[in-house]
């Protein structure tokens, strides 16, 4: 058992798991919606889902980064080797960076391309970037390359978490699991 000082606070865990669920839905939606051969209606549905959930993720990562900077995580468990702490920290900050860059580049790709983002349009939020094919293409390439990086880092992150939860059973996974005081 770990004391409260060694677990993440409820707000940190809520942000972590809500974003995890949304990202794990957004990545496959993005990969499937650009495939040739899927029906037009499925493609439209996935695009609408992807763009609008992606914008929600952009808002959530801003809140999460602000929260993280004001609320340092609990100290690392003493049994972890120094290299493990260093690698985990690097992966976490790379994930924060990609979780900001992914939705930002997606937003710029869509708005600079002159396309709708249904929820923002319904709320009357205007496009914040000018219409520009060059900007849209740059953002599209950024979004594409970052999608491979975030998929690889998410896989690494999940593998490490499962290793702690299933093989080591050392309490590291429980620090972030919901429901702990």
Q: Which of residues 21-60 bind ligand HEM (CB under 6 A)?
A: 23, 26-27, 30-31, 34, 50-51, 54-55, 57-58
Task: Establish if 154 lies at the interface with ligand HEM (CB under 6 A).
Answer: no
Whichever of 57 and 172 has its CB closer to ligand HEM, that residue is: 57
Q: Which of residues 123-142 bind ligand HEM (CB under 6 A)?
A: 140
Provide, rounded to whole angstroms, the least separation between the CB of residue 144 and ligand HEM.
Answer: 4
Provide, rounded to whole angstroms, the least separation between the CB of residue 94 and ligand HEM.
Answer: 14
Candidates 117, 153, 172, 176; binder of ligand HEM (CB under 6 A) is: 117
| Alpha-carbon distances, residue 169 vs 16, 17, 164, 174 (angstroms) | 20, 20, 5, 9
Tokens, residue 22: 């949304």
For residue 116, the number of C-alpha atoms closer than 13 Å in the C-beta half-sphere is 10
């Amino acid at each position: 058992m770990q004391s409260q000082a060694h677990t993440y606070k409820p707000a940190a865990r809520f942000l972590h798991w809500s974003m995890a669920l949304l990202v794990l839905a957004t990545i496959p939606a993005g990969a499937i919606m650009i495939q040739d051969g899927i029906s037009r209606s499925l493609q439209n549905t996935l695009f609408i889902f992807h763009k609008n959930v992606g914008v929600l993720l952009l808002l959530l990562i801003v809140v999460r980064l602000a929260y993280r900077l004001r609320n340092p995580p609990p100290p690392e468990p003493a049994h972890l080797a120094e290299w493990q702490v260093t690698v985990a920290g690097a992966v976490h900050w790379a994930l924060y960076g990609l979780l900001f860059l992914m939705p930002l580049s997606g937003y710029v790709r869509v708005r600079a391309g002159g396309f709708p983002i249904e929820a923002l349009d319904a709320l009357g939020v205007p496009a914040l970037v000018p219409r520009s094919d060059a900007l849209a293409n740059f953002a599209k390439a950024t979004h594409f390359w970052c999608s491979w990086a975030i998929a690889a880092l998410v896989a690494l992150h999940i593998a490490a978490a499962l290793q702690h939860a299933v093989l080591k059973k050392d309490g590291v996974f429980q620090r972030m699991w919901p429901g702990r005081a």
